[in-house]
Amino acid sequence: MSRICEITGKRLQRGNNVSHSHRKTKKAFMPNLHWKKFYLEEEDRWVTLKVSAAAIRSISKNGLKATLDKAVKNGNLIAY
C-alpha cells in the first residue's frame, strides 16, 4: 500500500530521531492519510480518494472539482 496523497502528493519522508545526547537514529515521518469518499456533483457520482488531512482542508476550501483539476495538472492524479 503506497503512502502517497492523491491530491497533494505528500509521501513518506525520512529523517533522524535525535536524542537528548544528540545521537541520531533513522525515523520515518508518515503523512496523515485517510481513505475518503467525496461526492462529485458535476458527474453525479462518488469518488474515493486516499488524501491527507491538508488535502481534505483544501477540498473544503476550494471545492472538489477545482482541487482535482489542480492535482491532474500537477501530475499527482492521473484521472478521476
Residue 54 located in a structural domain:
yes
Residue 80 located in a structural domain:
no
Which positions of the chain have pLDDT values less than 70? 1, 80
What pLDDT is attached to residue 2? 86
Instruction: Count how many domains the chain has.
Output: 1
What dihedral angle (degrees, nearest 10) is formed by the CA atoms of 37, 70, 78, 56?
A: -20
Expressed as residue numbers, the domain containing 21 is: 13-74
Residue 4 located in a structural domain:
no
Residue 7 located in a structural domain:
no
Residue 5 located in a structural domain:
no
Give me the helices (H) in the chain, please: 53-62, 64-74
Residue 60 located in a structural domain:
yes
Tell me the CATH number at 23.
2.30.170.40
pTM: 0.84
